[in-house]
Structure 1
Amino acid sequence: MAFALWAIGKQKFEFLDEGIEAFSQRIRHYYRFDYQVFHQIKYRNKNLPEQIKSDEWQVIESSLKPQDMLILLDEKGKEFTSVAFAGWLEKSLAVHTGKRMVFLIGGAYGFSPEAYARADQKLSLSRMTYSHLLARLIFTEQLYRACTIIRGESYHNE
């Protein structure tokens, strides 16, 4: 099984990149893991959010494989506790053996209707709103935490 975290945007802050890389290395002790940032689409006319979302989706879609399981990290998605997320992940690993699970953080305007149609699942990190940059770090830590919970290791305390 392999995981991927894809994001649309910029890599602005070195300290966030360092944190993401630290958790990425830890995740790789358990599963293959790929972290990739796709450049955001820029237009001079900011009144084109639907066009921007559509163009961003085309870039993402061209990188997806037909068998990939796509999970959108979306404010309208299902919320989990850390333990419940680990349980969901473990079940998904059993059901979708051999597939890559691609977790996607959208651009500034969110996702296109085509992205929602292709998605297998929508997850929410919180009811709070985070910057896209911070969401990458939070999700990477939660994925690592889920790996340790699945393995019964002592990182997570209740």
Structure 2
Amino acid sequence: MKILLLVVGKTTENYFAQAINEYHCRLKHYISFEMEVIPELKNTKNLTFDQQKEKEADLILKYLQPGDYTVLLDERGKDYTSMQFADYIEKKMHFVPKKLIFIVGGPYGFSESIYKIANEKISLSKMTFSHQMIRLIFIEQLYRAMSILNNEPYHHE
């Protein structure tokens, strides 16, 4: 199984990019992991938020294939502790035949069409974080999950 983090817009803050790269390198020891960046929309001043979400949805859908399992990182999703998330990842490793795709939407969230095709939603916190931060928080939690599953000392209870 391959895990893909699909994000809308590049990581613009260098300190986030460096930290994301560090955890990306660490994850390679455990699983097949990639992060794909969908370019931000251009010329959006005349578009409503819903129109922007639909255009982003069209771009997101180009990355999805039959058999992929899609999980939206969404504030209305299910909450997990780090230990529960590790269990979740372990179960998906046995259940998902192709790619497990986690998606971070654009600044206005997801369109209804993306909600309809998603297999589930996960929340990383009840608090609101920038989309730049969510990438780092997610990849760190994925690394933490892998260290938990491998009985390594990164996570302390």
C-alpha distance in 2, partners of 1:117/1:58?
A: 13
**Alignment match, 1:105:** 104
**Alignment match, 1:130:** 129
Q: Does 1:53 align with 2:61?
A: no
What is the Cα deviation at residue 45 of structure 1? 2.1
C-alpha distance in 2, partners of 1:56/1:70?
A: 16
What is the Cα deviation at residue 66 of structure 1? 1.1
What is the Cα deviation at residue 152 of structure 1? 1.2
C-alpha distance in 1, partners of 2:55/2:29?
A: 35
C-alpha distance in 1, partners of 2:11/2:24?
A: 16
- Superposed, which structure 2 residues align to 1:72-151 within 5 Å? 72-96=72-96, 98-151=97-150
Q: Which stretches in structure 1 are left out of the alignment for 5+ residues?
A: none
Q: Which runs of 4 or more aligned residues in structure 1 lie more than 6 Å from their structure 2 counterparts after TM superposition? A: none
What is the Cα deviation at residue 49 of structure 1? 0.8
TM-score normalized by the length of structure 1 = 0.95
SS at structure 2 position matched to 1:3: strand
C-alpha distance in 2, partners of 1:144/1:29?
A: 10
C-alpha distance in 2, partners of 1:41/1:134?
A: 20
Paired letter, 2:46: N
What is the Cα deviation at residue 11 of structure 1? 2.0
SS at structure 1 position matched to 2:153: coil
**Alignment match, 1:14:** 14
**Alignment match, 1:152:** 151
Aligned length: 156
Identity of aligned residues (%): 41
C-alpha distance in 1, partners of 2:50/2:28?
A: 36
Q: Which stretches in structure 2 are left out of the alignment for 5+ residues?
A: none
